[in-house]
């Protein structure tokens, strides 16, 4: 191939002929060649179209020597095996200059808890709140062993229809339940989660059990440690029932065992990637679950399955022992039946652990004295103003959420909340998504270079296998500049949250990128059900909080939820099973 006769197709044919097609190295394409191939001025010119650059002949000749040096450095880097858990030294901090983590309120003694009656059918407790379960356990009206066995029986009966469980941790669970019962009998009370069964998204390491990440290449992987959130829930006395499904490598609801189903509509997927945590919680297979979000993985399945999801502020919950997808965007959070349940779980799992450098906050402390009417609440007016029937917003129309969205604002006003119209800062959020794809490609670099990405179930254009490959052509310069734009976004959102403490927004409106924006900035969110479509499937509303402002966020979201009853509904197909 000569310098005078190149085009895109010829360029790709050239690289294929040189044996470069499956062994491309990270960075700009013209800096990526395989062993034995020579970098020349001609190959530099071939790559300029892909890189979006233009050089003259003298500049290309001058570049060759440096590119060959970079090639040697990259080859040396590839010879070093990096574990998924080894994070870059560049740590993302969501706080803008001049801002600090706000102090948590003083812990107040818990109010006297009403002890509910024990139902004749113990399975009625499958959908009970954590507060009610905790009160029954503390009063020794039921035992943790009884609860654990009830949930295990439901998993065996119902999960074959849902595919939400990857690995049962039955032996561990029963041992923990017996230990909880013995401690409670001696009067040792660890807190509101003591003896309560839960499920972990299977990207959290649990010693002695497989941690599959939902992906075929890792289906037999055993990580010899407990993730920090697992250790903290162990310390709180909670009982781990199961490792729950995630779409492979935290994308979607399809994993190597099939598609996780929506308990409200079994012919529909539960969405993802926290597919199992949302489905299992909605179906009453666990009392609560831990999920994760990078770009919608708590929000989307919580919406689909009608549960309450909390995406904490980036830096609130340590990610130690969790699969890394994007070091600067991954967040762990609870998926529960209510906002109050989420608060109890967040108290148990939050706070720096000394190992995850991005975890910078103290443990969260709920403030029961905080009232929604005292919180400054905004709403994204333009998102609520999208008409129900609008050809330009067909997705929104098909979802049919506007009636529910408007009704939710009326409920909040009825609670004495003064709603202030605000608008989202307008920035190129979609362009910043290269941050996620570049980091994800780095996290699974060896999977791509070894060609084991062929073992992934999902192989379409938008699935990880192809995304990892294409992300290798993102220039390092552009990745850094995307993060510089991200700093601007953080500053603009900080100005917005100087005017309000909480923002209410429809969860999903076509052309309204709040989900992408707030995952980039690290803001917390509560996603909860606020209605049901004619086919019986749930729809959701999202509440956004200031950075490390989970207290006011949950005060407002919790007040809305207590004034409605959507979160108390049960999927009839599952409950009747």
Q: What is the CA radius of gyration of the chain?
A: 25
Look at the alpha carbons of 479, 483, 488, 493 in this order and tell me if their dihedral is positive or negative: positive
Q: Are 485 and 427 within 8 A, CB to CB?
A: yes
Q: How many CB atoms lie within 10 A of CB 99?
A: 17
122: Cβ–Cβ under 8 A, 6 or more apart, which residues? 142, 146, 147, 150
381 backbone φψ class: left, alpha, beta (φ>0; ψ -120 to 50): alpha
Asked if 273 is an active-site residue, the reply is yes
201 catalytic? Reply is yes
Dist. CA 421–CA 447, nearest whole Å: 47
Name the DSSP letter for residue 369: T
Q: What is the 3-state secondary structure (H, E, C) of 190-229?
A: CCCCCCCEEEEECCECCCCCECCCCCHHHCCCECCCCCHH
d(CA 451, CA 123): 47
∠ at Cα 170 (167, 172), nearest 5°? 105
How crowded is the C-beta side of 503, counted as CA atoms within 13 Å? 30
Q: What one-character DSSP code corresponds to residue 73?
A: H
Preceding peptide of 338 cis, ω within 30°: no
Q: Taking the CA of residue 138 as centre, how many other CA atoms within 13 Å lie in the half-sphere pointing to its CB?
A: 18
| Closest to 506 measured CA to CA, from 533, 544, 537 | 544
Task: Point out the catalytic residue in the list 129, 164, 297, 302.
Answer: 297
Q: Which of 245, 273, 328, 338 is catalytic?
A: 273
Out of 45, 87, 164, 201, pick the active-site residue.
201
Query: How many CA within 13 A on the CB side of residue 536?
Result: 13
Consecutive H or E run containing 84: none
Dist CA 334 CA 342 (whole Å): 6
The catalytic site residues sit at: 201, 273, 297
């Amino acid at each position: 191939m000569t310098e005078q006769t190149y085009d895109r197709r010829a360029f790709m044919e050239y690289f294929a002929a040189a044996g470069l097609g499956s062994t491309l190295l990270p960075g700009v394409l013209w800096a990526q060649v395989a062993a034995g191939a020579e970098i020349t001025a001609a190959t530099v010119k071939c790559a300029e179209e892909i890189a979006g650059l233009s050089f003259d002949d003298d500049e290309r000749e001058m570049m060759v020597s440096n590119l060959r040096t970079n090639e040697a450095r990259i080859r040396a880097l590839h010879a070093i095996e990096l574990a998924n858990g080894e994070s870059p030294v560049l740590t993302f901090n969501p706080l803008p200059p001049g801002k600090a983590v706000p102090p948590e309120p003083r812990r107040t003694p818990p109010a006297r808890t009403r002890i509910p009656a024990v139902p004749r059918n113990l399975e009625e407790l499958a959908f009970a709140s954590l507060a009610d379960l905790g009160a029954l356990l503390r009063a020794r009206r039921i035992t943790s062993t009884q609860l654990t066995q009830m949930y295990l029986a439901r998993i065996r009966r119902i999960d074959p229809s849902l595919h939400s469980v990857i690995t049962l941790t039955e032996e561990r669970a029963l041992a923990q339940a017996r230990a909880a019962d013995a401690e409670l009998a001696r009067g040792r009370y660890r807190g509101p989660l003591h003896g309560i069964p839960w499920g972990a998204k299977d990207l959290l390491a649990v010693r002695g059990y497989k941690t599959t990440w939902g992906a075929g290449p890792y289906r037999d992987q055993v990580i010899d440690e407990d993730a920090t959130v697992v250790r903290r829930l162990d310390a709180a006395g909670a009982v781990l029932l199961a490792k729950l499904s995630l779409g492979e490598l935290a994308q979607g609801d399809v994993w190597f065992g099939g598609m996780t189903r929506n308990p409200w509509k079994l012919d529909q997927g539960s969405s993802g990637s926290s597919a199992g945590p949302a489905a299992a919680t909605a179906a009453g297979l666990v009392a609560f679950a831990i999920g994760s979000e990078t770009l919608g993985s708590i929000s989307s399945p919580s919406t689909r399955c009608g549960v309450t999801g909390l995406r904490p502020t980036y830096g609130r919950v340590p990610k130690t022992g969790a699969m890394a997808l994007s070091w600067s965007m991954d967040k762990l959070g609870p998926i529960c039946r209510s906002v109050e349940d989420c608060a109890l779980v967040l108290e148990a799992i939050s706070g720096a652990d000394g190992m995850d450098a991005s975890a910078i906050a103290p443990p969260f402390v709920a403030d029961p004295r905080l009232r929604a009417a005292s919180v400054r609440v905004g709403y994204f007016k333009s998102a609520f103003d999208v008409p129900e029937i609008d050809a330009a917003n067909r997705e929104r129309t098909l979802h049919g959420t506007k009636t529910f969205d408007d009704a939710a604002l009326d409920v909040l006003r009825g609670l004495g909340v003064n709603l202030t119209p605000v608008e989202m800062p307008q920035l190129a959020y979609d362009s910043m998504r290269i941050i996620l794809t570049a980091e994800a490609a780095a996290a699974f670099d060896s999977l791509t270079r070894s060609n084991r990405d062929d073992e992934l179930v999902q192989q379409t254009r938008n699935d990880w296998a192809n995304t990892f490959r294409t992300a290798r052509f993102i220039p390092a310069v552009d990745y850094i500049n995307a993060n510089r734009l991200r700093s601007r976004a953080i500053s603009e959102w900080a100005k917005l949250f100087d005017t309000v403490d909480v923002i209410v927004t429809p969860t999903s409106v076509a052309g309204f990128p709040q989900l992408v924006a707030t995952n980039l900035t690290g803001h917390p969110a509560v996603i909860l059900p606020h209605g049901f479509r004619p086919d019986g499937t749930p729809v959701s509303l999202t509440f956004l909080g200031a950075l490390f402002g989970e207290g006011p966020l949950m005060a407002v979201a919790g007040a809305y939820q207590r004034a409605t009853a959507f979160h108390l509904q049960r999927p009839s197909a599952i409950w009747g099973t």
